[in-house]
Amino acid sequence: MATFSPPFRRKSPYMPFGDQRNAPFYGRDILSVKQFKRSDLEYIFGVAHEMREMVERVGSFDLLKGKILANLFYEPSTRTSSSFTSAMERLGGSVIPINEVRYSSVSKGESLPDTIRTLECYADVIVLRHPEVGASALAAQYARKPIINAGDGVGEHPTQALLDLFTIFSELGQMDGITVTMLGDLKYGRTVHSLARLLSLYDVRLNYVSPDILRMPPEIIQELGDKSIPQAEFDALEPVLPQSDVLYVTRVQKERFEDQQVYESVKGAFIITPETMHNAKERMIVMHPLPRVGEIHMDVDADPRAAYFRQMEYGLYVRMALLAMVLGKA
Ligand code: CP
């Protein structure tokens, strides 16, 4: 009997059927921001911009009619899961939602590779969130269909970083020359890991503000240092806020701490209030991947510089663009 071991996959952009198969990103996985060049980002943002115009004009359209997305989430999600669902449905496709693996055969002990090989029998693309670093890369080894990493533990969250960059570009009109200050849990925050790497494709300055035990991982600082990106670490926001064009706030992630007393000792280290905003630039934007649990006071929401709700909407357009691209329709 023939034996199959991974990878028995195609993942080639030259599939011999259908139209538009030479489109950039057709059939490709989206696993890490490390796979993108500046020109890729320009392309993605161009498509995302077109998606925005289409949604504003017609709401939904049939670009991906007949295509099916499997949304496979081993960790909780509101934004990523529902924005991918909305993206697929606005493009005329449909979704298999597995937002609670407890009710799937995962609870019977099914492995990730087998779950992936099952879902790709029914779907054309799989969005995966998983608590382990590298889970999406593992899934991609087994899958014939594109895998999109929707967050792998404390590793990466590439689609979040893409939407973050699209937000900055849409709100400020430029990336080069800006100063981005990241605040909060920079150790476990996968969104800031991916965003810092993506920003390093531009001429930016990065400030990291965090409690000592939640500093940006040294390997990321080293990686960006090798690319001559100016970076500095702080334990207070005051010295860097007035120079910042973007203040990127993150939640201290209770679920990543083994010792809850340690979590309690750092959870309220930084809270953005209307008073904080007095010292910020008039054109600075405040971003947050959300959910927030108190690190930005609700009284900040009315400030026009609070971009975190607009940021979620930009995410819809970016995820529409990614789905269309990997399915060869952009
Ligand atoms: N930003 C983000 O990943 O949010 P969810 O956990 O709700 O998907």
Q: What is the pLDDT of residues 39-84, one digit of tens each?
A: 999 999 999 999 999 999 999 999 999 999 999 999 999 999 999 9
Write down the pTM of the prediction: 0.92
Q: How is the chain split into domains, by residue range? A: 23-156+315-326, 158-312
Pocket test for ligand 1, best of 74, 79, 253 (most atoms within 8 A of CB): 79
Pocket test for ligand 1, best of 83, 129, 160 (most atoms within 8 A of CB): 160
Per-residue exposure over 253-289, b if at least 16 CB sit within 10 Å of its own CB, e if not: beebbeeeeebeebbebbebeeebbeebbeebbbbbb
- Whether 158 lines ligand 1, by a CB cut-off of 6 Å, is no
pLDDT band at 100 (very low <50, low <70, confident <90, very high): confident
> Could you tell me which residue, 247 or 1, shows the higher pLDDT?
247
Are both 23-156+315-326 and 158-312 of the same fold?
A: yes
Do residues 91 and 323 make contact, with C-beta atoms less than 8 angstroms apart?
yes
Nearest CA to ligand 1 atom 1: 289
Please give the pLDDT value at position 224.
98
Helices (H) and strands (E) in the chain, counts: 10, 9
pLDDT above 70 as % of the chain: 93
Distance 291 CA to ligand 1 centre (A): 7
Strands of 16-152 (E only): list them.
68-73, 94-98, 125-130, 147-152
**Assigned fold of 158-312:** Rossmann fold (3.40.50)
Q: What is the pLDDT of residues 28-46, one digit of tens each?
A: 999 999 999 999 999 999 9
**Assigned fold of 23-156+315-326:** Rossmann fold (3.40.50)
Pocket test for ligand 1, best of 72, 73, 80 (most atoms within 8 A of CB): 80
Do residues 136 and 151 make contact, with C-beta atoms less than 8 angstroms apart?
no
